[in-house]
Amino acid sequence: MPASRSVVIGVDSSTQSTKAAAVDADTGELLALGRAPHSVGGAAGARESDPGEWWTALAAAVREAVREADVPAASVTGIAVAGQQHGLVTLGADGRPSRPALLWNDTRSAPQAAALAARLGGPASWLERTGSVPVASMTAAKWQWLREHEPERAEAVRAVRLPHDHLTELLSGAAVTDPGDASGTCWYGTATGAYDPDVLDLIGLDPALLPAVAPSGATRVGTLTPAAAEALGLPRTVAVAAGTGDNMAAAVGLGLGGAGLLDHPVVSLGTSGTVFAATRARPADPGLAGFAATDGTYLPLGCTLNCTLAVDRFATLLGLDREDAAPGGGVVVLPYLDGERTPDLPHAAGLVTGLRHGTDPRAVLGAAYEGAAYTVLRALDGLLAACGLDPAAPAVRDRPLRLIGGGARGRTWTETVRRLSGRPVVVPAADELVALGAAALAAGAVTGADPVALATAWGTGTGALLPPVPRDEESWDRIAAVLAAATPALLR
């Protein structure tokens, strides 16, 4: 490869691993992908990770990507990080993490979230201020949990970061975030584009502890520090973008953002299930996270806690391969193994009903798929309604879903979503949309180009259209009835 060709690195630092995509900045060609794992610990609702593992994994993944791409280090011109949202990283006086990070799926902060939601005028006021009502996932609730359960540690904190902020700071030395990831904290005002002083006062968080908010994730915040350049094996001249949250980066990779289109709602099947769409409006719905997109538009999002990981757990319990599933028939599974966020049932456990002596274990696994897919698609209906669209209207139902995430590569996941939604589906041909979106942000930091336009030109969001199949109304209604009947018990 000619040394003059520009290569950018997009980093996807997710819950369980880090991926680094080496991408040709001109064509969007994925030259290589480096990977490195990191661990999650905790029980009884706790989910924590050592931020040091994220940095070690990032460096290893970047080095692998550059090596496998067979490009000179001097050809790398930019890097951006897309990170798991909501995590609370606390730094001490030495600039190092003072404890393991509290992750997005740590549900111990549910009581704090409920108490916060009742303050400042209640849920309607929170929606007006931040676009979201506090739930256990939001960073504000986690900070409040830390203040109540580990007050001495909270008092000693000298900086508060989100996971992607922390990694960007290690890369560049700049304490900076972006509007997209900041909007998942519940202390950033999506209406004002700034931290909300009343929320910060309520949770006792000094704004001096927070990073500055860059105009967008593609903002150039500096170049690699000497230590980062050495760790990654790259020149110090590499531009570092502000970066963003993983969902916002996926939207960039799909070419969603500045155009403000809702023509292709997105369903992401990963450890969590998410549904989102780009819009210029600020939907106010307590069942949604009213996120900002990284470019200053909006990215309303619904999120479920239990998706591919929960279904894989059922496969393990049943001794089956994840693809060895059959339609659930009379079996209903609500796979809420980590509690649930949408619907808001933080203390729920999994539920299985409809078993008979002759029940095929494959049907139980199929019912787990159906329960998880139903929960995600139910959140999609809420998203569309909040954006002023009737989910049942033919014109809306005929719009294809863009299906992304690890589950989108699984036959059973894809067919279950098609059957329960009755909608056409596009599965983008490109893998690693979060990393590719981050790469577009990196390219934007280098050239000043619009990263959404870059990703659109790269074609990373395109794929084959799968036609609709008849909607399985019977399974949908059966799951809905079980959830309605079980909710009072799941709330306890």
How many angstroms separate the CA atoms of 471 and 398, rounded? 12
| The two structure tokens encoding residue 108 | 């111990």
164 carries a ligand binding annotation: no
| Cβ 254 vs Cβ 189: under 8 Å | no
16 annotated as a binding-site residue: no
Along the chain (492 residues), what's the average pLDDT of each consecutive run of 10 residues? 78 95 96 96 93 98 98 97 97 96 94 97 95 94 98 97 98 98 96 96 98 97 98 98 95 77 77 87 83 87 92 98 96 94 87 96 98 96 87 88 92 97 93 94 96 92 93 97 88 62
Output the pLDDT for position 260.
Answer: 42
DSSP-assigned letters across all residues of 156-191: H--EEE-HHHHHHHHHHS--EE-HHHHTTSSSEETT
Q: What are phi and psi of 240, to 5 degrees?
A: -110, 125
**Annotated catalytic residue: which of 165, 246, 344, 472?**
246
Q: Are 58 and 11 in contact (CB under 8 A)?
A: yes
Q: What was the pLDDT predicted at 487?
A: 86
Instruction: Give residue 72's pLDDT.
Output: 96
pTM of the model: 0.87
Judge whether 196 counts as a catalytic residue. no
**3-class secondary-structure state, position 423:** coil
- The whole-angstrom separation of Cα 91 and Cα 152 is 13
Specify the amino acid at residue 419. R
DSSP 8-state class, residue 329 = T
How many angstroms separate the most distant Cα atoms in the chain?
A: 67
What's the pLDDT at 342? 87
pLDDT score recorded for residue 153: 96
**CB atoms near residue 118 (< 10 Å):** 12
**Cα–Cα distance between 31 and 20 in angstroms, integer?**
11
Say which residue the tokens 């619009």 belong to. Answer: 450
> Which CATH number is 7-247 given?
3.30.420.40
User: Domain extents for the chain?
Assistant: 7-247
